[in-house]
């Protein structure tokens, strides 16, 4: 992997990731990034504020400036496409493999963490599932590199790499891309996970994720796919109609700890999963909307009241879920889910796993 860093006209960082060597046995080529031809725009007046709900014990971020962010532009005005035909948006080069840059409309920043966009390909009309394994490996390298860099920023508590796909999820740009949030606080779900890890270690004297994985492998009914280094399964208490957790058999805290064997096996398996998700509701169904997100161990110092758990207790996992529960039907977060935080699912995890095994193995 080759990393080339430059700056956009307003000072935001832009990083290109290229395979090394670029093709076959060709010698590596040095990318010379084109300067951003746009005049420096007036800075976006970010208004990020963090508040804590003391009853729920959860932090809420407020980013009113995001009301003005780009919303579903036509392809000819896509800000994530490369600069061609005299036009220039966020990426000045005429082509790229993987590009990462600071979000112009961040959910938080300016000393409160950082938000980045990850463009998986220059091709506007592709999806992640259309990528070749070599490109997926490069994306994994980019995720890993950014995890390492963002984890070193002062005040960052967790690095969260994710992709939203589909208007049903709420995407505002169709170009295949994901995001990375360097949270300046511990997200609620991660805080609950840490508490469960500490509780189980104290009560049972063992690591909870390892125990759960052993239970899934012994049961077998919710296993979707497995390789020498990875296991994909539907959780025993899945909240979404179709939800998969993909984790290494060997417990590691984050992407930077993956070894060569784990990294080599990941692209093919992940592509099988995503392509299977697209076949869930029929070969001619619209692309399946999904969220794919890496859950990584927290970094930095815990705040008062947070459980103190060694990073090695945390198990890296990738979650893939869809809000579609059937052909033409969505799982809406209605009164019980949104109001009480109590999920009611329409699909049993064992039935979901059976269907996922069928479509993933094709």
Give me the active site residues, please.
Answer: 177
Query: Could you give the CA distance from residue 55 to residue 52 in angstroms, rounded to a whole number?
Result: 9
Of the candidates 303, 352, 292, the one whose C-alpha atom is nearest the C-alpha of residue 129 is 292
Residue 137 neighbours by CB under 8 Å, 6+ apart: 263, 264, 266, 267
Neighbours of 269 (CB within 10 A): 20
Of the candidates 271, 261, 258, 263, the one whose C-alpha atom is nearest the C-alpha of residue 297 is 258
Would you give the DSSP letter of residue 296? -
Angle at 137 between CA 133 and CA 142, to 5 degrees: 145
Of the candidates 126, 128, 140, 135, the one whose C-alpha atom is nearest the C-alpha of residue 276 is 128
């Amino acid at each position: 992997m080759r990393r080339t860093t430059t700056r956009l006209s307003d000072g935001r960082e832009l990083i290109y990731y290229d395979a090394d060597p670029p093709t076959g046995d060709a010698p590596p080529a040095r990318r010379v990034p084109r300067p951003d031809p746009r005049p420096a725009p007036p800075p976006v007046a970010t208004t990020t504020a963090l508040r804590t709900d003391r009853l729920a014990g959860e932090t809420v971020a407020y980013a009113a400036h995001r009301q003005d962010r780009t919303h579903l532009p036509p392809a000819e005005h896509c800000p994530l496409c490369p600069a061609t035909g005299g036009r220039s948006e966020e990426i000045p080069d005429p082509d790229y493999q993987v590009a990462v840059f600071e979000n112009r409309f961040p959910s938080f920043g300016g000393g409160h963490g950082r938000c980045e966009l990850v463009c998986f390909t220059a091709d506007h009309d592709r999806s992640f599932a259309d990528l070749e394994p070599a490109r997926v490996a490069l994306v994994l390298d980019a995720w890993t590199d950014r995890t390492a860099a963002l984890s070193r920023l002062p005040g960052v508590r967790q690095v969260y790499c994710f992709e939203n796909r589909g208007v049903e999820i709420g995407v505002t740009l169709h170009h295949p891309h994901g995001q990375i949030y360097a949270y300046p606080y511990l997200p609620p779900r991660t805080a609950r996970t840490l508490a469960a890890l500490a509780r189980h270690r104290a009560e049972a004297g063992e690591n909870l994720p390892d125990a759960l994985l052993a239970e899934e492998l012994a049961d077998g009914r919710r296993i979707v796919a497995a390789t020498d280094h990875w296991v994909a399964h539907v959780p025993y208490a899945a909240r979404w109609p179709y939800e998969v957790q993909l984790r290494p058999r060997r417990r590691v805290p984050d992407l930077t700890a993956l070894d060569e064997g784990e990294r080599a096996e990941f692209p093919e398996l992940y592509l099988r999963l995503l392509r299977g998700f697209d076949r869930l509701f029929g070969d001619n169904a619209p692309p399946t909307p999904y969220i794919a997100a890496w859950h990584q161990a927290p970094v930095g110092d815990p705040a008062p009241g947070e459980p103190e758990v060694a990073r090695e207790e945390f198990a890296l996992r990738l979650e893939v879920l869809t809000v579609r529960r059937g052909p033409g039907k969505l799982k809406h977060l209605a009164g019980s889910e949104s109001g009480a935080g109590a999920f009611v699912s329409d699909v049993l995890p064992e039935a979901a796993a059976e269907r996922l095994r069928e479509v993933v193995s094709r």
